Structure 1
Amino acid sequence: MSPIAVIPQFSIAPSDDPLQRDAMKRLIFPCLLFASPLLADEGFTIKGTSDPVMIHVELDGKPYTTFRTDSRVPYCAPLMSASGAVLSRRWPMENGFKEDEDHPHHRSFWMSHGNVNGHDFWAWQFGKDPKIELKKVVGIEKDSFTVDLAWTAGGATHLTETRTYGFKKIDAKTTMIDFTSKLTAADGDATFGDTKEGFFAIRVDRTLRQKGPVAKGSIADSEGRKAGVTWGKRSNWVAFTGPDEKNEPAVIAVFDHPSNLRYPTWWHARDYGLLAANPFGIHDFEGKKDKTLGNLVLKKGESMTFRYAVVLHHGSLESSKLPELWKDFSKNP
């Protein structure tokens, strides 16, 4: 096996939040973050860097995604197809791609929520808080990494989180990101408010959208619904399909897991490219008058765990075999 080459850096704009940049410089992490990754002739390899902390993921020696902490909410960007095309939104991390500059908090691939104890971790503004901050890199393996995070606002830690990203190569054209999050109420009870603004989310690239000057995509769910009909409905998965930036067929999908709260989840899937699984926004999705219908309270010290998957496929919706992949995913605890 040959040594892994230096991972190329993407041209990504630095954080606009000076508090976030300064905080990153002060954080102390285990030395394992900066150790060389386990080596493999092919498959996934993972390596961490500092200032700001980033965790780079390669597939077969090529960039796949990077976990970034240069924002108020951590995110992964970009998400790469087997074709080498970027399937996730580039802006505001990268400029020059003529993207609509809306919703700057929609950063490629992330998780946050619009109401935790009254604090908006979703559509945040630059400033002191709220924020989801990295506390520690727990471990980096050949095909996964785990981080500890804290959801802080108003001088309190509302939630602590242990989050694991696992990476799997299904075949030459398909990869999967297996995501697990354990959320624990920290300084006191944590109330997740009923809002459509959340939770586990991706913003897709321009051509995969249904709306926009170069949009050629479509939306489908596991129940056979299409386009805007998928919004606010419950299903096992939702996918965006269409040509990628190379004009080759692509699919990007999110899977819900049967162990998750209120499975099957509701979906905040929009024609402009947002794809989010959200188990809390019941009154928004179902048009109910009771705006607390979807609330959930975690008592201090209580935890709940969420499991999702992201599938990236170079090919059509039919060739992606999403029903079979979801079935296999659903069987794993």
Structure 2
Amino acid sequence: MKINRKKLWLAIIVLCFAGSLYAQKQSVSAVKIGNRIDIMIGSRFFTSYRFEQNEKYPFFYPVNGPLSGGSVTSMRNGIYPHHSSLFFGCDRVNGGNYWQEGLERGRIVSIGARIVEAKGEQVVIEDECIWKRPDAVAPVLDRRKIAVSSPGKDLYQLDFNIEMEMLTDVTIIKTNHSLFSARIDPDLSVAQGGVMINSEGKKGEKGTFGVSSSWIDCYGKRKTGVEGLAILQHPSNKWYPSPWFTRDYGFISPTPMYWPADDKATQLKKGEKITLRYRVLVHGGDTEEADIAQLFEQYKRE
């Protein structure tokens, strides 16, 4: 039988490349400790999902970078201390506030955080969260599934699948505080010399504020090298691609409720369910080196 040497060498190259990619993947593990879930990538601590009963909402903090081991997000620093790292919430929902300080104004309370997959190529967390405030009907129940993995040596990934169920008719008045958000660590912010860039190549608050785009990446230099965090919106999302609320001091959020149609409130009916998907990439290198555009192309096919 005649062997096609060209095809044989091509097959070997493909197998070697696939093996190299597989070798770059790192194992992930999770453990629940009280009111938090700690996540390790290999032997390094990556992040904690925190759901303490005295918090405004569940959130992830720290969110450590693959090069420095330091957080790429920040927690309640001087400017706008109601931003808690990586979180999901909303203001002006049926008269309540599920975003800013003041627990009596509204809280998103975890009622069932659990680890579904504790170890392997990914860990999976599920949670149910009730939105409530005193003397008012709870407007929303959200169900979260969060998968954490490390597809590459310098790449950590969090996949969020959040189903919002309306427990009553819901009115969300126009607000710049809505849904998925990240408060970037100051040393990665534009104000400190970092870069904020969207999928159209527009940069900074001036270029990205109010612009509909599939993703935004923020990165900056650290002593150990360049690190960053990107948020990707999945094309299946309602309101996709949402315009972004951005700040040069280090804040990014795809925020549909700030630009409602005809400048009217967002109305959602009792029993309506909305599923929102986001991917967070914590990466080494800048946007091009991390290949964020190509990673989004992969994400939108999933």
Mapped pair 1:301 → 2:271: yes
Q: Which runs of 5+ in 2 are unaligned?
A: 1-24
1:324 aligned counterpart, secondary structure: helix
Q: Indicate the residue corresponding to 2:183 in structure 1.
A: 203
> Which residue pairs with 1:184 in the alignment?
165
1:311 is the counterpart of 2:281: yes
Distance of aligned partners of 1:302 and 1:256 in 2 relative to their CA distance in 1, 3 Å threshold: same
* In 2, Cα distance between equivalents of 1:308 and 1:133: 21
Do 2:93 and 2:173's aligned partners in 1 also have CA atoms closer than 8 Å? yes
Q: CA deviation at 1:128?
A: 2.7
Is 1:160 the counterpart of 2:147? The answer is: no
Q: Does 1:75 find its partner at 2:59?
A: yes
Cα separation, 1, equivalents of 2:72 and 2:155: 15
Task: Indicate the larger mover: 68-77 or 80-89.
Answer: 80-89
* Identity value in percent: 24
Cα displacement (A) at 1:200: 0.5
Quick one: distance in 1 between partners of 2:89 and 2:173?
12
Q: Which residue of 2 aligns with 1:144?
A: 124
Cα distance, 1:198 vs. partner? 2.1
Compute the displacement of 1:300 (Å).
Answer: 1.5
Counterpart in the other structure of 1:238: 216
Counterparts of 1:101 and 1:138, CA distance in 2: 33
Aligned-residue offset at 1:317: 1.6
Task: Work out whether residues 105 and 124 of structure 1, in 8 Å CA contact, stay in contact via their aligned partners in 2.
Answer: yes
Q: Does 1:272 find its partner at 2:249?
A: yes
Q: Note the alpha carbon deviations across 1:267-292, whole angstroms, 9 max, x for none.
A: 11110101111122106xxxx9x541
What is the distance in 2 between the residues matched to 1:75 and 1:43? 23
User: What's the C-alpha RMSD, in Å, of the aligned pairs?
Assistant: 1.8
Higher helix share: 2
1:76-133: per-residue Cα shift (whole Å, max 9, x none)?
Answer: 00111111332434434xxxxxxx51212111100111121121212232x4340000
CA distance in 2, matches of 1:103, 1:67: 21
Matched, 1:331 2:301: yes
Query: Which runs of no fewer than 5 residues in structure 1 stay unpaired?
Result: 1-40, 93-99
Q: Structure 1 CA distance, aligned partners of 2:170 and 2:28?
A: 36
Q: Distance in 2 between matches of 1:271 and 1:85?
A: 23
Secondary structure in structure 2 of the residue aligned to 1:157 = coil
Length, aligned pairs only: 270
Q: Which has the higher strand share?
A: 2
Residues 21-65 of structure 1: CA distance to partner in whole angstroms, max 9, x if unpaired?
xxxxxxxxxxxxxxxxxxxx9511011111xx1111111021111
> Given the two structures, how large is their TM-score scaled by the length of structure 2?
0.84
Residue identity matched to 1:58: M
